[in-house]
């Protein structure tokens, strides 16, 4: 229905033809081609305006074309673009000190925090897998990890698409056609304490956990679950790895959600919002885990590149200078309250933290709702068949969110079977 009515214009059609002819089909043909952005708004190649409620899947944290990020990148590009890690440069040192300071500002994080840089979330998790291997060898006093290679992950988890991170991804439909992948990954239900405990033994090298499952539907871990996972990892000499690729760097109103719940992991995977749109990933190791790698153990040519590091520094500055963590908490709560106050019969629940929110619907019509929202000028996605995800730039304003809340009832009326909802079936 909405496919037929949504027609962004002739320029879009022409660019999409060229896309189909030349871009590999992984995501499928996109509905629009974006030309430029400013703060929380983007414009397509036909000049149509959209409020971006997805921010490139939780990436453009400080808004599109953020002047501080743009200036940092431009200055860095015209000074020094690349060194490799055979040589140092100032930006990577400064960024590591900042991330260390952020992590260590939370309770019980100690004072030994070190960072490995890569290109994104999946590669941050790959580094964490290798840290788990090194830790397994170390605690056993052996050369290799031996049988201590079991990795615990959760059903519905998303950890990326590289071979190791794909194995950790708890979605068989994304994984199975690429088997064989990594051996030894065990999947347990998220937030199920008993299953987790039953899966643990001395062969476990690490527990991987998103403190809030993003792609799995914005499922928030209970404090009890996070604490139990930490306790079990310690008991079995395994690493506790928090994948905060989606939840980190202010998305929940905290720098890192797990730390804000009083749980200290051994490794935090960070990416997405960290670069504000520039591709950077970070594996942040705490305590003994910070010293597991030795020269030659792991590497990547572009990791900690001066330009992406400069962008990340500008993101961190902006978040601090503009009190963005507070904004996320206030505006996120405001949005949740406003959506719930609609009292629309198609809305079952509004969940999440800060500005990582899912609107759960009574029917599997999230994709239809997203299409209709696009036609009305809003970018969102269907994170599950029944849930719409809202993850806007962290600088979004209540007024901007109001414009979406105003059209949401009409969208839901159109995509749900009103008769059923009213109990008239």
Ligand X SMILES: Cc1ncc(COP(=O)(O)O)c(C=O)c1O
Q: Of the two residues 2 and 153, which places its CB atom closer to ligand X in the complex? A: 153
Contact call for residue 215 and ligand X (CB under 6 A): yes
Q: Of the two residues 121 and 164, which places its CB atom closer to ligand X in the complex? A: 121
Q: How far is the CB of 58 from ligand X (least distance, A)?
A: 7
Considering only 44, 126, 210, 400, the residue that binds ligand X (CB under 6 A) is 210
Please give the Cα distance from 353 to 156 (Å, whole number): 18
Is residue 235 within a helix (H) or strand (E), and if so which, with residue range?
Answer: helix 223-235
Neighbour-count burial of 114, counting CB atoms closer than 10 A to its CB (0-12 exposed, 13-18 middle, 19+ buried): middle
Q: Of the two residues 365 and 387, which places its CB atom closer to ligand X in the complex? A: 387
Asked if 46 is an active-site residue, the reply is no
For residues 327 and 69, the answer to whether their CB atoms sit within 8 Å is: no
Give the CA distances from residue 385 to residues 131, 191, 234, 380, 382, in Å, rounded to whole numbers and listed in that order: 35, 21, 37, 13, 6
Question: What token pair was written down for 404?
Answer: 């979406």
Please give the Cα distance from 211 to 153 (Å, whole number): 12
Q: How far is the CB of 120 from ligand X (least distance, A)?
A: 3
Which residues, 284 to 313, sit near ligand X by CB under 6 A? none
Please give the Cα distance from 140 to 419 (Å, whole number): 63
Instruction: List the catalytic residue out of 44, 52, 243, 266.
Output: 243
Between vectors from CA 328 to CA 59 and to CA 56, what angle results, nearest 5°? 15
Please give the Cα distance from 382 to 374 (Å, whole number): 12
Is residue 285 within a helix (H) or strand (E), and if so which, with residue range?
Answer: strand 281-286
Q: How far is the CB of 255 from ligand X (least distance, A)?
A: 16
- Contact range with ligand X by CB under 6 A, out of 1-9, 114-122, 143-151, 198-206: 114-122
Instruction: List the catalytic residue out of 272, 336, 371, 376.
Output: 272
Within a 13 Å sphere around the CA of 177, how many CA atoms are in the beta-carbon half?
3
For residues 263 and 227, the answer to whether their CB atoms sit within 8 Å is: yes
Size of the site for ligand X (CB under 6 A): 15
Q: x/- contact string, 63-92, with ligand X (CB under 6 A)? A: ------------------------------
Phi, psi of 223 (to 5 degrees): -60, -35
Q: Of the two residues 121 and 277, which places its CB atom closer to ligand X in the complex? A: 121
Considering only 45, 226, 271, 391, the residue that binds ligand X (CB under 6 A) is 271
Please give the Cα distance from 33 to 274 (Å, whole number): 24
Write the DSSP assignment of 244-277 as a string of letters: -TTTTTTTTSSS-HHHHTT---SEEEE-GGGGBT
Instruction: List the catalytic residue out of 158, 293, 335, 378.
Output: 158
Asked if 158 is an active-site residue, the reply is yes
Asked if 243 is an active-site residue, the reply is yes
- Contact range with ligand X by CB under 6 A, out of 61-69, 117-125, 175-183, 322-330: 117-125
Considering only 56, 120, 265, 332, the residue that binds ligand X (CB under 6 A) is 120
Which residues, 144 to 173, sit near ligand X by CB under 6 A? 158-160
Contact call for residue 245 and ligand X (CB under 6 A): yes
**Sites of contact with ligand X (CB under 6 A):** 57, 120-122, 125, 158-160, 210, 214-215, 243, 245-246, 271
Catalytic residues: 158, 243, 272
């Amino acid at each position: 229905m909405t496919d037929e009515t949504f027609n962004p214009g002739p320029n879009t059609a022409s660019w999409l033809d060229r896309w189909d002819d030349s871009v590999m089909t992984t995501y499928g043909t996109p509905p629009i081609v974006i030309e430029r952005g400013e703060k929380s708004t983007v414009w397509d190649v036909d000049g149509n305006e959209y409020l971006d409620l997805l921010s490139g899947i939780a990436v453009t944290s400080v808004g599109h074309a953020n002047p501080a990020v743009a200036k940092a990148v431009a200055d860095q590009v015209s000074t020094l673009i690349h060194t490799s890690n055979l040589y140092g440069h100032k930006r990577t040192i400064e960024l590591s000190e900042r991330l260390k300071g952020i992590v260590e500002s939370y309770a019980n994080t100690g004072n030994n925090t070190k960072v490995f840089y890569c290109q994104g979330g999946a590669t941050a998790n790959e580094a964490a897998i290798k840290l788990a291997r090194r830790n397994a060898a170390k605690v056993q006093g052996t050369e290799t990890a031996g049988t201590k290679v079991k990795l615990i992950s959760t059903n519905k988890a998303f950890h990326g698409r590289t071979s190791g991170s794909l194995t950790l991804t708890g979605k068989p439909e994304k994984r199975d056609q690429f088997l064989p992948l990594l051996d030894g990954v065990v999947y347990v239900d998220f937030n199920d304490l008993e299953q987790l405990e039953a899966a643990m033994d001395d062969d476990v090298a690490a527990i991987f956990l998103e403190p809030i499952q993003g792609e799995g539907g914005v499922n928030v871990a209970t404090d009890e679950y996070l604490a139990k996972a930490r306790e079990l990892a310690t008991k079995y000499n395994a690493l506790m790895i928090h994948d905060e690729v989606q939840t980190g760097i202010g998305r929940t109103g905290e720098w890192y959600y797990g730390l804000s719940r009083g749980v200290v992991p051994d490794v935090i995977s960070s990416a997405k919002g960290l670069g504000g749109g520039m591709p950077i990933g970070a594996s942040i190791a705490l305590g003994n885990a910070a010293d597991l790698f030795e020269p030659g153990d792991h590497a990547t040519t572009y990791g900690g590149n001066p330009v992406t590091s400069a962008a990340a520094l500008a993101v961190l500055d902006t978040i601090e200078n503009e009190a963005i963590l507070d904004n996320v908490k206030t505006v996120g709560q405001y949005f949740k309250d406003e959506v719930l106050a609609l009292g629309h019969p198609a809305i079952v629940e509004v969940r999440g933290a800060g500005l990582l929110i899912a609107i759960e619907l009574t029917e599997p019509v999230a994709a239809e709702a997203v299409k209709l929202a696009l036609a009305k000028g809003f970018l969102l996605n269907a994170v599950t068949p029944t849930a719409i995800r809202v993850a806007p730039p962290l600088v979004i304003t209540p007024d901007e969110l109001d414009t979406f809340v105003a059209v949401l009832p009409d969208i839901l009326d159109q995509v749900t079977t009103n008769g059923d909802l009213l109990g008239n079936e």
